[in-house]
Chains A and B, each alone.
Chain A
Amino acid sequence: MTALSALIRRDIRIALRVGGGALIGVLFFLTVTVLMPFAVGPDLALLTRLGPAILWLGALLASLLTLDRLFMADHEDGSLDLIVMSRTPLELACAAKALAHWLAAGLPLIVATPVLGLLLNLDGTATLAVALTLLAGTPALTFTGMIGAALAVTLHRGGLLLAVLVLPLSIPVLIFGVAASQAAIMGPLSFGTPFSILCALSLVSFVVGPFAAAASLRHGLD
């Protein structure tokens, strides 16, 4: 356990230091959300209707932004070799890295959501619903995105390849995340149904993500 908590603490510390990238995600989220009213126009009713979808898209892109560094940085400086060699199972180490990434880059997005909700004319309930769905759904984005990050290391390609690999995997999360938020705001569906599926997607990604990423890393090191 000390090994895993050490890994989590190190990754969070690096993310929060200058140049770490945790704040970049929030700034990007802010930028995307602020741009939307300019693009859509000052129609308040339309903004309210689009609000949850805009917030979800912003959070999705923002969490993708720093994800390609998840394993790449460790690969470049040789840390990944030592992590693979260590007595900690690689699956657990991958899960710990993803958790650290979510704590440093995902959680700030959720904290920022109420502020950004104001810009999109969302009331308190709606903002709370979006924040809650993001809380349940962004871990799934990180843990499925981790598979793409591991493949990017294996294939020696970062950046765009990751987006191409990861975005299709995040479609279900996006659908049920926005559906749950919309249901809470205007019905007629109940909030519980899509929200439960969203939670289930997150739980599945907790299991599949670390194993897939570890298998990819093991296979692809050279």
Chain B
Amino acid sequence: MRLSGQNLRCVRGGREVFSGLGFAASSGEALAITGPNGSGKTSLLRVIAGLLVPSDGSITLDGGEAELTVAEQAHYLGHRDALKPGLSVLENLSFWRDFLGGESDDAGRCLASVGLDHATHLPAAYLSAGQRRRLSIARLLVARRPVWLLDEPTSALDTKGQDLFVTLMRDHLAGGGILIAATHTPLGIDVREMRMGAGS
């Protein structure tokens, strides 16, 4: 499987964020997008996720399921956590499992693998920033998607949480997954770095 983008151009609010941009990542490979604030890291991830329409260029996923778009085969972990404060931790996760078409997998087990199994019935409103992030990461596990698009995935995580997340990323890559992350801090796994902005 190989995810690639050719000659991508993105314009937001009349300003060109990037142009002539290309990238590629194969199965088992992690691509880290780095660059100063405002260089278009998040925009690139959102273009890949199909949430922004590029004004030029195309994105292809070779070896994926032919009937599905790239977005439908990807998980997107953005700045916003997609959690409902009124629902409990387990209810939040179970909803995403059912909605994303996850296997009848035990949502509780996924919570355990991000270290949240002690808080299953706590409303999400009472979670700390790090716990919210952990719960969002658990969403990546409830439904299988070959492509993970991560935007600052380790922000707000403590060292133990970062270690847990490194293990999860390694498992994903070992299973033939593709990982693209916009980040400022080292992810703790072997990555190929792509630097954006400043004349890239």
Contacts and interface: CB of A to CB of B under 8 A. Distances in A.
Interface of A: 2-3, 5-7, 9-10, 13-14, 17-20, 76-79, 81-88, 221-222
Contacts of B106: none
Contacts of B72: 85-87
Interface string B64-106: 0000100110101011111110110001001110111100000
Give the top 8 A-B pairs by smallest Cβ distance, nearest first: A78-B80, A6-B98, A17-B86, A78-B82, A79-B82, A85-B71, A10-B95, A87-B72
A76 B99 contact: no
A19 B50 CA distance: 33
Contacts of B79: 78
A78 B50 CA distance: 14
Most buried by A among B94, B95, B96: B95
A interface SS class: helix
Contact of A13 (B51, B80, B87): B87
A6 B99 contact: yes
Given A86-B99, A221-B52, A78 B78 contact: yes
A78 B3 CA distance: 24
Interface residues of B, number: 28
Contacts of A10: 84, 87, 91, 95, 99
Given A13-B91, A77-B80, A78-B80, A86 B100 contact: yes
A80 B51 CA distance: 10
B87 A14 contact: yes
Nearest to B96: A82
A76 B80 contact: yes
A31 B67 CA distance: 52
Contact of B50 (A18, A76, A85, A222): A85
A10 B91 CA distance: 8
Given A10-B95, A76-B80, A81 B86 contact: no
A88 B96 CA distance: 12
A81 B84 contact: no
Contacts of A82: 76, 82, 96, 99-100
A19 B86 CA distance: 8
B182 interface: no
B12 interface: yes
Most buried by A among B74, B94, B96, B98: B98
Contact of A77 (B12, B52, B71, B83): B83
B49 interface: yes
Nearest to A85: B71
Contacts of B82: 77-79, 81-82
B49 A85 contact: yes
B148 to A, nearest CB: 13
Contacts of B83: 77
A87 B84 CA distance: 21
Contacts of B68: 87
B98 A2 contact: yes
Nearest to A75: B80
Nearest to A219: B53
A215 to B, nearest CB: 13
A84 B96 contact: no
Contacts of B98: 2-3, 5-6
